[in-house]
């Protein structure tokens, strides 16, 4: 893998594996707190991790540790997030007795959720790996900067999904109306994403220059494309989260297929930063249209069922 990514320090790649493991166990804590409707349990560790990555990552790079220092900073920040999540878990009252549940339905539901998580993770991380392999080092650095800026949209809007999921699931279980929760969540996501994409379109120099400096301004034209990709990706994520919350688990096939399609297409079309982004944008758009079609099909079937 180190050779594939043109990285000389093998320990950097090994540390990435630890980052992934630490992120996974932290996610378990976050989703547990989410299920308990402790919304700060989802947002808090993410905030701790983000601040830690910024402070420790930049600090270690500044003292001369380079890429290894940046990855080490990420690992340490994720471990801090895990520690904070563990603290929040321990503050919860588990003295109340709950009915025993059957394990099989949980396992059956957990597998498609895992597929969904892997598919969406692939959609906005594998492109970075492929770009690192195919494009020159400077272009790969520009792409990484654009990707980081684009992810601002995801991290700003994604908490809406975290709040929506348990509320919709609970309302559906007790037989209450839940559609308005989804509509409001989706509208908020559209507005939030549009504002950030609009900022990228109107003030790309400011967005890039403040965080990365003047040498990265050559990528201003590509920033809005990256913003569109991440915006559509985020909206698709919210739709899939809604469908999973009402038990429509087969929908995970669609993001899984699209994630494979993205990998195949980037392997063939990687002539420039813009081309790679447009491939990802096309895949995200296809996913979004497919999800829209499925939602329409679901609503029509529900109307006919009432008749």
**What's the pLDDT tens digit per position in 154-213?**
888 988 888 898 889 888 888 888 889 999 999 999 999 999 999 999 999 998 888 777
pLDDT of residue 286: 97
Encoded tokens for 141: 């650095």
CB atoms within 10 A of CB 15: 17
**Cβ 239 vs Cβ 291: under 8 Å:** yes
SS3 letters across the chain: CCCCCCCCCHHHHHHHHHHHHHHHHHHHHHHHHHHCCCCHHHHHHHHHHHHHHHHHHHHHHHCCCHHHHHHHHHHHHHHHHHHHHHHHHHCCCCCCCCCCCCHHHHHHHHHHHHHHHHHHHHHCCHHHHHHHHHCCHHHHHHHHHHHHHHHHHHHHHHHHHHHHHHHHHHHHHHCCCCHHHHHHHHHHHHHHHHHHHHHHHHCHHHHHHHHHCHHHHHHHHHHHHHHHHHHHHHHHHHHHHHHHHCCCHHHHHHHHHHHHHHHHHHHHCCCCHHHHHHHHHHHHHHHHHHHHHHHHHHHHHHHHHHC
How large is the greatest C-alpha to C-alpha distance in the chain, in angstroms?
Answer: 69
pLDDT (0 to 100) of residue 169 = 87
d(Cα 269, Cα 276) in Å, to the nearest integer? 7
Question: Which residues of the chain fall short of a pLDDT of 50?
Answer: none
Q: Are 223 and 211 in contact (CB under 8 A)?
A: no
Over residues 52-68, the pLDDT tens digits come to 877 887 787 678 776 67
pLDDT computed for residue 230 by the predictor: 95
pLDDT of residue 8: 61
| pLDDT at res. 303 | 59
Q: What is the pLDDT of residue 97?
A: 59
CB-count burial class (<10 Å; 0-12, 13-18, 19+) for 96: exposed
pLDDT score, position 103: 66
Residue 233 and residue 123 in contact, taking contact as beta carbons nearer than 8 Å = yes
**Phi then psi for 300, rounded to 5 degrees?**
-65, -45
> What pLDDT score was predicted for residue 46?
79
pTM here is 0.80
Q: Which residue shows structure tokens 């003030």?
A: 203
């Amino acid at each position: 893998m180190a050779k594939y990514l043109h990285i000389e320090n093998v320990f950097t790649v090994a540390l990435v594996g630890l980052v992934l493991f630490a992120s996974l166990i932290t996610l378990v804590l976050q989703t547990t707190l989410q299920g308990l409707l402790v919304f700060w349990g989802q947002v808090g560790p993410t905030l701790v991790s983000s601040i830690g990555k910024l402070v420790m990552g930049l600090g270690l790079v500044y003292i001369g540790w380079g890429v290894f220092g940046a990855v080490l900073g990420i690992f340490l920040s994720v471990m801090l997030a895990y520690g904070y999540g563990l603290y929040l878990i321990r503050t919860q009252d588990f003295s109340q007795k709950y009915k025993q549940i059957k394990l099989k339905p949980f396992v059956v539901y957990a597998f498609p959720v895992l597929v969904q998580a892997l598919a969406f993770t692939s959609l906005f991380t594998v492109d970075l790996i492929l770009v690192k392999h195919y494009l020159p080092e400077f272009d790969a650095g520009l792409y990484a900067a654009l990707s980081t800026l684009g992810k601002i949209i995801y991290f700003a809007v994604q908490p809406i999904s975290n709040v929506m999921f348990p509320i919709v699931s609970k309302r559906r279980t007790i037989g209450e109306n839940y559609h308005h929760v989804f509509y409001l969540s989706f509208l908020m996501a559209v507005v939030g994403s549009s504002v950030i994409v609009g900022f990228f379109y109107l003030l790309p120099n400011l967005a890039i220059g403040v965080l990365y400096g003047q040498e990265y301004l050559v990528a201003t034209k590509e920033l809005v494309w990256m913003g569109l990709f991440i915006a559509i990706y985020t909206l698709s994520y919210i739709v899939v989260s809604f469908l999973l919350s009402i038990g429509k688990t087969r929908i995970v096939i669609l993001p899984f297929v699209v994630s494979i399609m993205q990998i195949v297409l980037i392997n063939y079309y990687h002539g420039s930063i813009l081309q790679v982004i447009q491939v990802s944008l096309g895949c995200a758009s296809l996913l979004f249209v497919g999800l829209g079609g499925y939602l329409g099909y679901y609503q029509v079937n529900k109307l006919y069922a009432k008749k």
